[in-house]
Structure 1
């Protein structure tokens, strides 16, 4: 095989084993069938006609399967990107549907371009700076907004807004438009969906084997979909005021150039596109890296950026809206036996068949069923467990969670995420400005030194040993200076001050100047400053500076050397 062909054909296909074909086909069929109602619902959540959910599950999925980083991740319409699309395009909601659709395609193009450029620049490391608290708080807040936004399909009340207050105020204002039959259909469907998802031990496992119960739970939404379509046709719900999907265009998505707005409109969309790209990358990378670890495979964050980027770019010109990796559909894909991206290509085939053959069958489906499906699925994204864990183990991460969560509810998705990130970065800055400086002593009979507040150690009246547990830079140098001065006041008889530098990997210019000044202060008090265990790369930087050349004390290779040399002085 030529080098060019090797680059164009993905590794999973070049080394494909026919033994994996049956499980890949089965997984692709299962995912394709089960996510049809979910795809329709996410399109509605994004403010688009339902058919665009199927469109979004064709071309982008094919592109990601070919060049994406994960062998088993199932990409497609996702709840968070759908509601962010609706939020970003809210000003266009009352305009022509065709223009709205084209704007959604433009948003997908922008998201894809940003992701692809980030991949080319190898910015995959950015994922490390999104804390668990921020991502969980953002997703949880978005889940609450999604849940409330779907009430318009269960009630026929035209609920709209960017935040919780907007949704609630519009609900109160238009409550007179409540449609009782639509409400009854939606409530019954939602109740059944919740029982199926969270009450499976009573609904299924009490009379079915575990494997059969699992499949009954997965197939139930599809069964409910079929029952709703049958009842809608039999009882003529459309004539009684129940909103249904209506005619679904038959045929595949076509190449369509997106709407090209003026510069100001594009600029207004850019921040949202950037946040959507970030969220799509974080959520997709979380799923892909988790399953890569479980399957003992490698995960390349930069390749994930490129794969998601090109998937969104191509989707933008094939009538899609922004897509990302899906938690639930990937779990189904893996549980159904998927081994390679061929399973995703089979899923695409199912979507194509649905568009060609099932359009008329789906037309009587009430929007209330789609709303109930999304509401039941979205409850699981409200991550109370992470908040509890953060509250018990890391209050700063809990604060980031609450900042993102409350910010999303009050100010909307974009501002909420920015607030969460700001609090997260503020907590990071605060933590780095409060370095741990421990007073240590020697463990009896050993050459080990430990914190005097945690261990029974030997100390020497003329020695003050301080272990600095952080790198020293402009953000924490004053805190270190203050703690050293406080320690010298606490132990006034100590004349030899030893800094244990084993954990220090960097000393910037500000920190060097602080240590030079500290050395002079201590010398004025007839105290000497010493260093022990300075790493080679650090010594290469500071060896010829006044920090070492004007040091009042000595530099020792180890803590024990320092103690042996100084304890009797």
Structure 2
């Protein structure tokens, strides 16, 4: 096994040059300016001291640079994972307490170990159980829940809860206690951040800056908000007037520490760690694949699992919280020209310098500014219009998305996403338990067979052609028996039933038992069962059973060949067309065995 398979840095590292370094350095500078306020804010969102967000943006970036496969993914604290961290820990310990901090580090360790084990066992497919509608509903609901949860910091009141049913009544009761200066700071920060996100770049371009330079400066909007807020609070002594500030932030790099090693607590946090791992992996891979495709690059899911796993382990041992690849900062990293994961290494150096030099300056940073930063960031994740699009396309997927959305908002984060996942799987089983089956007939003058209800086709009175458009497995095995029984009962003249299996990718043991029962019942009724267009892997499965020996009919390579053998007098062919099709098939080298 090549070492580079697990260490992608060996591939891009041997081609690293000065041009790459300059591009990565510029991207790192921009991402660092963006990551400082975000890291502080997302740690606060998780109920942790703000400095832990900075700690989680140093060693995890170095670990991902070694093991991750994406050239532009930016790892660190993100809003959704911070919300899930808070949801898992707040019922157990007081937010910000030593026990809470230790549990957060243990949660990061568990998530890192789970991701690393999944990488070694190549279990990335587990993330496929999070369907896109469920993820979309979860992210939109999380954005709404996070934004409403941060209103308490903007209003200067107390409120807590894991759902809207808990948060909204407390916010309502706290309205008479709104703190004026805090509200003013929060509203001004919101207005500036919202305006800077949409209007600052066009303004700078009109003033003569290039589009790239204007975009990079606009990304530093939150940093300017922090500077102005700190200066204002310090100059006007607003902290003495009741404005809540971040307070003392430890200066210096974090030491390597052990998270709380409590087996009972670990078992209690394991379900939350698994959900955080899956959600973080899905978000990271989605972003990584999107950005890689733009440069015609590829990412390896197993490497992403290992990269994110080691990043979380690094966070656990350096006083951080669970991390993953962030959408916004990864896009900024890409747009700023990052060429390799060295951009993440340079970003880690920038954060480390900030922790050593700048933390004393952040003492008077109002919590309302961090709350405004979170609100503006997460509202961009809310996409309620996707619910309408999904519902219009598939009501089953729309129902799963709606259930996830309402579950997260009204019950809680973990319950909501489990509800969406469970409903998705149940709806899938329900949908495939009644697969689409069409009676088909020959399109005149061709070798094609189509649904008799949709096309004008030719049917044989003695041969029933039934196309099955779904794999046959335990939920739909009985339905197949019932459907065939109905069709045979309504067609007493039928002597042959041909199952057209072009849409069948699997026949499990339950379906095989049903097919054997069907053969026996049809023989009793004087009808022979035949198969056509059976795919190679399915045929291999059938050869491992006694079914083909018990089959009363034959297995045909195509439906046309079946009708040609069983009822040639009903076929209507165009000789020239048929000859051309055979000639084309011969040129294409079509194999004679079913595929």
TM-score by length of 1: 0.93
Paired position in structure 1 for 2:82: 82
Paired position in structure 1 for 2:521: 521
Check conservation: 2:110, 2:266, Cα contact below 8 A.
no
Secondary structure, counterpart of 1:249 in structure 2? coil
Matches within 5 A, 1:535-546: 535-543=535-543
Instruction: From the superposition, tell whether residues 135 and 410 of structure 1 become closer, same or farther in structure 2 (CA, over 3 Å).
Output: same
- Residue 539 of structure 1: how far off its partner (Å): 3.7
Structure 1 residue 246 corresponds to structure 2 residue 247: yes
- Residue 93 of structure 1: how far off its partner (Å): 4.8
Give distance in 1, aligned partners of 2:493 and 2:206: 74
Instruction: From the superposition, tell whether residues 478 and 461 of structure 1 become closer, same or farther in structure 2 (CA, over 3 Å).
Output: same
Secondary structure, counterpart of 2:220 in structure 1? helix
Check conservation: 2:32, 2:347, Cα contact below 8 A.
yes
Paired position in structure 2 for 1:221: 222
Q: Deviations over 1:6-53 (max 9, x none)?
A: 969632212213221211110011111122111111111111121111
Check conservation: 1:196, 1:203, Cα contact below 8 A.
no
Paired position in structure 1 for 2:127: 127
Instruction: From the superposition, tell whether residues 438 and 15 of structure 1 become closer, same or farther in structure 2 (CA, over 3 Å).
Output: same
Paired position in structure 1 for 2:503: 503
Instruction: From the superposition, tell whether residues 229 and 554 of structure 1 become closer, same or farther in structure 2 (CA, over 3 Å).
Output: same
Check conservation: 1:37, 1:222, Cα contact below 8 A.
yes
Secondary structure, counterpart of 2:531 in structure 1? strand
Q: Deviations over 1:502-558 (max 9, x none)?
A: 332332232222222222333333333222233444344435856433433333332
Paired position in structure 2 for 1:552: 552
Q: Deviations over 1:283-327 (max 9, x none)?
A: 111111222222222221111111111111121011101001000
- Residue 407 of structure 1: how far off its partner (Å): 0.9
Matches within 5 A, 1:473-488: 473-488=473-488
- Residue 470 of structure 1: how far off its partner (Å): 2.1
- Residue 187 of structure 1: how far off its partner (Å): 1.7
Matches within 5 A, 1:229-268: 229-261=230-262, 263-268=263-268
**Higher alpha-carbon deviation: 367-376 or 355-364:** 355-364
Give distance in 1, aligned partners of 2:334 and 2:9: 23
Secondary structure, counterpart of 2:461 in structure 1? coil
Give distance in 2, aligned partners of 1:348 and 1:27: 12
Check conservation: 1:496, 1:528, Cα contact below 8 A.
yes
Give distance in 2, aligned partners of 1:17 and 1:201: 31
Structure 1 residue 286 corresponds to structure 2 residue 283: no
Give distance in 2, aligned partners of 1:444 and 1:172: 71
- Residue 334 of structure 1: how far off its partner (Å): 0.3
Instruction: From the superposition, tell whether residues 403 and 203 of structure 1 become closer, same or farther in structure 2 (CA, over 3 Å).
Output: farther
- Residue 399 of structure 1: how far off its partner (Å): 1.2
Secondary structure, counterpart of 2:380 in structure 1? helix
Give distance in 2, aligned partners of 1:334 and 1:84: 27
Matches within 5 A, 1:558-569: 558-567=558-567, 568=569
Instruction: From the superposition, tell whether residues 501 and 349 of structure 1 become closer, same or farther in structure 2 (CA, over 3 Å).
Output: same
Aligned residues: 567
Gaps of 5+ in 2: 571-595
Gaps of 5+ in 1: none
Instruction: From the superposition, tell whether residues 509 and 388 of structure 1 become closer, same or farther in structure 2 (CA, over 3 Å).
Output: same
Check conservation: 2:312, 2:323, Cα contact below 8 A.
yes
Check conservation: 2:465, 2:498, Cα contact below 8 A.
yes
Paired position in structure 1 for 2:353: 353
TM-score by length of 2: 0.90
Secondary structure, counterpart of 1:10 in structure 2? helix
Matches within 5 A, 1:281-430: 281-430=281-430
Name the Cα RMSD after superposition. Answer: 2.5
Instruction: From the superposition, tell whether residues 440 and 245 of structure 1 become closer, same or farther in structure 2 (CA, over 3 Å).
Output: same
Check conservation: 1:195, 1:203, Cα contact below 8 A.
no
Give distance in 1, aligned partners of 2:170 and 2:6: 56
Secondary structure, counterpart of 1:35 in structure 2? helix
